[in-house]
Amino acid sequence: MSSDGAPEAGLGRDYLTYPQRSYGMDHDLYEWSTITARPKVLWPGGKGVALMVLVELEWFRFDADGKPFRVAGSPTKEYPDFRDWTWRDYGNRIGIYRVADVLEQHGVRATAAVSSDLVRNRRSAVDEAKRRGWELIAHGTSSSVVHHVDMPEDTERSVIAEALTVVGEANGAPVRGWLSPGQSESRLTPEILAERGVEYLCDWPNDDVPVPFTTAGGPIWSLPVTNDLSDVHVMLSLHQTAPSWADQVIAAYDVLEKDAARHGQGRMLCLQVHPWLMGQPHRIRHFRRAIAEISGRSSCWAATGGEILDAYRSATAS
């Protein structure tokens, strides 16, 4: 940009112009507002913080080309990448049991994000999640197939339909929630999900409470995730330690707990956990420390995504 605010030579006057550019947000899924405009409701039992543990049971394609981009945590070497691929699969074979044991010991039922490829290739992990009483939500066809603006609409519809059908059959009932691989979306993703009856998605880190979306396909809710506390983000992207992750989780809960008490307005903490990372022997004790600390607070209501949505909709129904 030149000193007079014009684009640099060669970029053209339309460089910063695109169809959705306007005052405000670049979408019309919900009206922009601050947390002070949210309904002042608490969670069941007068609890201040709803804890949602989102366990991502991932399946990566061995021959993925990484286009148009790779999600965080994807194997990164050229095919065949036995080391990274089997590291990720460690979570489905071993890590899930360690993570599940910790959660069960502290009375926490998780929400498990499951892809259709995982159902086909690691059904034991899906069955374990169901045995523990976890809620299953759809997680695309695999973590190697992302949603993006250049994905043809018919392709995206086919991917979503496959994921919802296969995971729904494994669940024994239609799934209520959705998490896109890498939280990736096209502009049509919420609309297509709403059309197919999905009640909530977990792709947006835009709030501390559930947010209702309005789409051309019908209504759908966003249950906000806490990207900053994702184990993949903290430990792989930021290269921080598991003890540091646990400290950050507890610190975040402290603030949410105080906010809820001060304003009489419940908050939500959604923790993204990957068993291939957090389920490692040297990390699991730090996961246990964080879960034990926050689930033991009198202000904590540990619940699945569907339970959180039901409670919030019921409390805010006009």
What mean pLDDT do residues 5-20 have? Answer: 59
When computed from its CA atoms, the radius of gyration of the chain, rounded to whole angstroms, is 20
What pLDDT, on the 0 to 100 scale, is given for residue 3?
Answer: 47
Residue 213 three-state SS:
strand
Angle between helices 242-263 and 284-295 (to 10 degrees): 10
Identify the residue with better confidence: 1 or 116. Answer: 116
Please, which pLDDT band fits residue 217 given cuts at 50, 70 and 90?
Answer: very high
What pLDDT, on the 0 to 100 scale, is given for residue 309?
Answer: 98
Residue 119 three-state SS:
helix
CA distances from 134 to 103, 110, 278 (A): 10, 5, 18
pLDDT tens per residue across span 13-57: 666 666 666 666 778 898 888 898 889 999 999 999 999 999 999
Identify the residue with better confidence: 35 or 247. Answer: 247
Give the pairing of strands 49-57 and 267-273.
parallel
Quote the Cα angle for 88-176-179, to 5°: 35
Min mean pLDDT across 151-155, 216-220, 241-245, 284-288 is at 151-155
Q: What residue type is 96 in one-letter code?
A: I
Q: What are the structure tokens assigned to 15, written together?
A: 């460089």
What pLDDT, on the 0 to 100 scale, is given for residue 22?
Answer: 65
pLDDT tens per residue across span 97-131: 999 999 999 999 999 999 999 999 899 999 999 99
Enclosing H/E stretch for 121 = helix 116-121
Per-position DSSP letters for 123-158, written without gaps between them: HHHHHHHHHTTPEEEE--S-TT----TTS-HHHHHH
Residue 186 in this model has a pLDDT that exceeds 70: yes
Please, which pLDDT band fits residue 235 given cuts at 50, 70 and 90?
Answer: very high
What pLDDT, on the 0 to 100 scale, is given for residue 140?
Answer: 86
Q: How far apart are CA 292 and CA 102, in angstroms?
A: 9
Q: What are the structure tokens assigned to 68, written together?
A: 């148009």
Q: How far apart are CA 279 and CA 276, in angstroms?
A: 6
Q: Tell me what the pLDDT averaged over the chain comes to.
A: 88
Q: What residue type is 63 in one-letter code?
A: D
What pLDDT, on the 0 to 100 scale, is given for residue 152?
Answer: 84
Contacts of residue 152, Cβ cutoff 8 Å, sequence gap at least 6: none
What pLDDT, on the 0 to 100 scale, is given for residue 141?
Answer: 79
| Residue (of 148, 151, 120) closest to 57 by Cα position | 120
Residue 66 in this model has a pLDDT that exceeds 60: no
pLDDT tens per residue across span 135-154: 999 998 776 677 677 778 88
* pTM attached to this predicted model: 0.88
For residue 172, is it left (φ>0), alpha (ψ between -120 and 50) or beta?
A: left
Would you say 221 and 137 are in contact if contact means Cβ atoms under 8 Å apart? no
Residue 295 in this model has a pLDDT that exceeds 80: yes
Q: How far apart are CA 63 and CA 76, in angstroms?
A: 11
What pLDDT, on the 0 to 100 scale, is given for residue 2?
Answer: 47
Please, what are the domains in the chain? 40-316 (3.20.20.370)
Contacts of residue 218, Cβ cutoff 8 Å, sequence gap at least 6: 194, 195
What pLDDT, on the 0 to 100 scale, is given for residue 187?
Answer: 84
What mean pLDDT do residues 210-224 have? Answer: 95
What mean pLDDT do residues 242-266 have? Answer: 97
Residue 7 in this model has a pLDDT that exceeds 60: no
What mean pLDDT do residues 65-79 have? Answer: 58
| Residue (of 52, 48, 50) closest to 270 by Cα position | 52
Residue 313 in this model has a pLDDT that exceeds 50: yes
Identify the DSSP state of 248: H
Q: How far apart are CA 181 and CA 117, in angstroms?
A: 12
Min mean pLDDT across 31-45, 163-177, 195-209, 281-295 is at 31-45
What mean pLDDT do residues 146-166 have? Answer: 86
Contacts of residue 276, Cβ cutoff 8 Å, sequence gap at least 6: 58, 87, 88, 89, 90, 91, 92, 95
Q: Could you give the dihedral angle defined by the CA atoms of residues 221, 266, 112 and 116, in that order, rounded to the nearest 10 degrees? A: 10
Q: How far apart are CA 113 and CA 120, in angstroms?
A: 14
Please, which pLDDT band fits residue 271 given cuts at 50, 70 and 90?
Answer: very high
